[in-house]
Amino acid sequence: MSIQTQPGRVTAPQIRARKGGEPIVSLTSYHAHTARIIDPFVDFILVGDSLGMVMHGLETTIPVTLDMMILQGHAVMRGSSHALIVVDMPFGSYEESREQAFRNAARVMKETGCGAVKLEGGERMADTIRFLTERGVPVMGHVGLTPQSIMALGSFKAQGREEKDWGPIERDARAVADAGAFAIVLEAVAEPLGARITREVAVPTIGIGASPACDGQILVLEDMLGLSERVPKFVRKFGSLADHIREAVAAYAGEVRARSFPAPENTYAMKKG
C-alpha cells in the first residue's frame, strides 16, 4: 500500500532553487510524533539510516535494512504535511548496480510516498545518480564522511583536515552535482573545504559538521535535543530533554510507589442508578 504525497509539500526542485538563498533548515525524524512537531519549522525531514544507532542502539548504520527505512518513512509521512521527506537508501540497497538502485528507490518512493531518496558516495556513485534522476527519482547526495563506509574508513573522523586531501572530496561533490542530485549533504569536513565546495557546486549544500557557509544545515534530532549520550563535536545541544524525561519518570515512579497515582481524577467511578 502506498501513501500519496500531500499537495503543498516542499519539493526537491524547490530545495534545488534555494541555492545561495535563504538557508535550508533540516532535521532527522523517524517517528510520526516527532515529525509532527518539527514539520512546521523545517524545509525537509531526513529519515536517516542513523535510526539504526539512535533507535536500535547499533554501533553503525551498516545493519539497517530497506524494510526498516520504509517502515519509518511511513511513520514520518503520516506525521508531516509540509516538509519534503527524504529517505536514506541503506547500505547494500544501491551499490551493486544502477538497476538495483532504481528498483529499491522506486520501492521506497511507492511505499512511503516520500519526495526523494538520499545515497552516499561521490564519483563512484555518479553514474547511478544520473540513472535514477533520468528516471524520475529525485536524489540527494552525501559526501565527505560517509557513515556507510565506516568499515573502510576505520572511524568516524572528520575529512579534509589537510589541504592535500581536498581534491577527492571536491571531485566527489562536483560529480554528484553534475549527475543530477538536487542537493548534497557535506558531513564532517574541514570548514574551509565545506565553504569552498559550496561556492563551487551549482546545487545546495547541506552541512552537518561542515561550514556555516553551506546552503543549509541538518542535525540528528535526538542529538540536538540532548537525548543522545554521545554526540559528535559538530552537534550543539539546543535542548536537554533527557534531564526532563528523567525528572518526569522519577516523579511518576515516586507517586506510583506512594499510591498517590492514579488519583480519583485518573480513575472511573461506577455509574449511578
End-to-end alpha carbon distance in the chain: 49
CA atoms within 13 A on the CB side of 135: 15
Of 80, 92, 203, which is closest to residue 142 (Cα–Cα)? 203
pLDDT given for residue 240 in this prediction: 95
For residue 270, which phi and psi values (nearest 5 degrees)?
Answer: -70, 145
pLDDT exceeds 90 at position 173: yes
pLDDT exceeds 80 at position 193: yes
Give residue-wise pLDDT tens across range 135-157.
999 999 999 999 888 777 766 68
DSSP at 23: P
DSSP 3-state assignment of 160? coil
Max CA separation in the chain (angstroms): 85
Question: Which entry of 187, 191, 200, 255 is annotated as an active-site residue?
Answer: 187
Give residue-wise pLDDT tens across range 83-128.
999 999 999 999 999 999 999 999 999 999 999 999 999 999 999 9
CB 146 within 8 A of CB 186: no
pLDDT given for residue 109 in this prediction: 98
Does residue 187 carry a catalytic annotation? yes
> Is 49 annotated to bind ligand?
yes
Give every CB contact of residue 209 below 8 A, 6+ residues apart in sequence. 145, 158, 187, 188, 189, 232, 233, 234
Q: How confident is the model at residue 5 (pLDDT cuts 50, 70, 90)?
A: very low
Grid cell 519539493 in the structure block, residue: 11
Residue 4: Cβ within 10 Å count: 7
Q: How far apart are CA 95 and CA 72, in angstroms?
A: 22
How, if at all, do strands 205-208 and 139-144 pair? unpaired
Give residue-wise pLDDT tens across range 210-251.
999 999 999 999 999 999 988 989 999 999 999 999 999 999
DSSP at 19: T
Q: How confident is the model at residue 158 (pLDDT cuts 50, 70, 90)?
A: confident
> Is 118 annotated to bind ligand?
yes
pLDDT given for residue 148 in this prediction: 85
Q: How confident is the model at residue 272 (pLDDT cuts 50, 70, 90)?
A: confident
Q: What DSSP line would sit under 55-103, residue for residue?
A: TT--SSSTT--HHHHHHHHHHHHHH-SSSEEEEEPPTTSSSS-HHHHHH
Strand partners, 24: 216
pLDDT given for residue 44 in this prediction: 98
> Is 50 annotated to bind ligand?
yes
Give residue-wise pLDDT tens across range 37-94.
999 999 999 999 999 999 999 999 999 999 999 999 999 999 999 999 999 999 999 9
pLDDT exceeds 70 at position 7: no
Q: How confident is the model at residue 196 (pLDDT cuts 50, 70, 90)?
A: very high
Q: How far apart are CA 176 and CA 126, in angstroms?
A: 5
Mean pLDDT of the residues in the chain: 94
DSSP 3-state assignment of 142? strand
pLDDT exceeds 90 at position 4: no
